[in-house]
């Protein structure tokens, strides 16, 4: 079944700096159903909500580390925009040893439990280093198991492949009840090489999406960390990714 398509705004970070609302308008004109990102500086949440409503865009998910101190503001914004998922993750230095992994796991579990009390879900976002082994165990497995039952996963399928080492559809099938969001990106599966538009690289995107649980998966979130065609042309990749997903019956936009 086709899933709503969102865009992680990190993809167009340079374009946003040059013309924030013009870039958001272009994303809507392409057809995206949603964006993943927060309220821009200088704009109130209510003002931003009206702008997105007028463009036919939703916010699929937000980024934060929920704490007792900020939970009120997080809930207010989540309820205003209507999203149910908050996301965050770690840099490699936080996951180098078993001790550091356990510290990170505790942080994830605390945030997940806090959000669950208010009917929201916290998702761990991964990079490639969660799919390395430390002391004989895959880091991703340890983190998700430690966060049971409330921790979920926004699985970045390209990073999860660890440059072709990992069977990503198998990971999704194993954890599909806990994967409400997929970060969908593509590329040559070569470390430090830039991304391509979705569908133009070597990752089997369709197999990854087909492995998800339709009753659980809420959004396909397109993201490019960098673009083989150059950062000045990244909106071309944003458009091509959307078209590939919709033309292949995997995703749907707001149009």
The predicted pLDDT at position 156 comes to 98
Residue 1: the pLDDT is 82
Report how many domains make up the chain.
Answer: 1
Instruction: Take residue 181 and report the two structure tokens written for it.
Output: 């969001």
| Alpha-helix runs per DSSP H in the chain | 13-18, 20-30, 45-55, 71-81, 98-116, 139-146, 157-160, 168-175, 205-210, 234-247
Give me the domain span that covers residue 24: 3-252
For residue 248, the domain's CATH number is 3.20.20.150
By the 10 Å C-beta count (0-12 exposed, 13-18 middle, 19+ buried), 165 is classed as exposed
* Cross-strand bridge partners of residue 154: 125, 181
Report yes or no: 122 and 108 within 8 Å, Cβ to Cβ: yes
pLDDT per residue, tens digit, the chain (255 aa), is: 899 999 999 999 999 999 999 999 999 999 999 999 999 999 999 999 999 999 999 999 999 999 999 999 999 999 999 999 999 999 999 999 999 999 999 999 999 999 999 999 999 999 999 999 999 999 999 999 999 999 999 999 999 999 999 999 999 999 999 999 999 999 999 999 999 999 999 999 999 999 999 999 999 999 999 999 999 999 999 999 999 999 999 999 997
Q: In 43-68, which positions are buried (b, 16+ CB within 10 angstroms) versus exposed (e)?
A: eeeeebbebbeebebbbbbbbbebee
| Contact predicate 108/95, CB 8 Å | no
């Amino acid at each position: 079944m086709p899933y709503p398509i969102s865009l992680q705004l990190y993809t167009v970070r340079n374009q946003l700096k040059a013309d924030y609302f013009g870039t958001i308008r272009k994303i809507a004109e392409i057809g995206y159903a949603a964006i993943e990102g927060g309220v821009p500086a200088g704009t109130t949440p209510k003002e931003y909500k009206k702008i997105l409503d007028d463009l036919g865009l939703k916010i699929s998910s937000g980024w934060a580390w929920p704490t007792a101190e900020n939970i009120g503001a997080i809930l207010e914004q989540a309820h205003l925009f209507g999203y149910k998922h908050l996301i965050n993750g770690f840099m490699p230095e936080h996951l180098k040893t078993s001790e550091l992994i356990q510290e990170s796991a505790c942080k994830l579990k605390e945030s997940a439990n806090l959000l669950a009390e208010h009917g929201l879900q916290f998702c761990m976002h991964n990079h490639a280093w969660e799919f390395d082994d430390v002391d004989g165990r895959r880091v991703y497995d340890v983190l998700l198991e430690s966060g049971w039952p409330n921790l979920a996963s926004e699985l970045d399928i390209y990073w999860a492949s660890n440059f072709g080492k990992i069977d990503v559809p198998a990971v999704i099938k194993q954890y599909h009840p806990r994967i409400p969001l997929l970060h969908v990106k593509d590329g040559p599966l070569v470390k430090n090489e830039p991304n391509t538009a979705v569908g133009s690289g070597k990752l089997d995107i369709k197999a990854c999406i087909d492995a998800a649980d339709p009753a659980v998966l809420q959004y396909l979130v397109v993201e490019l960390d960098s673009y083989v065609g150059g950062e000045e042309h990244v909106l071309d990749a944003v458009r091509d990714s959307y078209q590939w997903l919709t033309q292949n019956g995997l995703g749907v936009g707001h149009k």
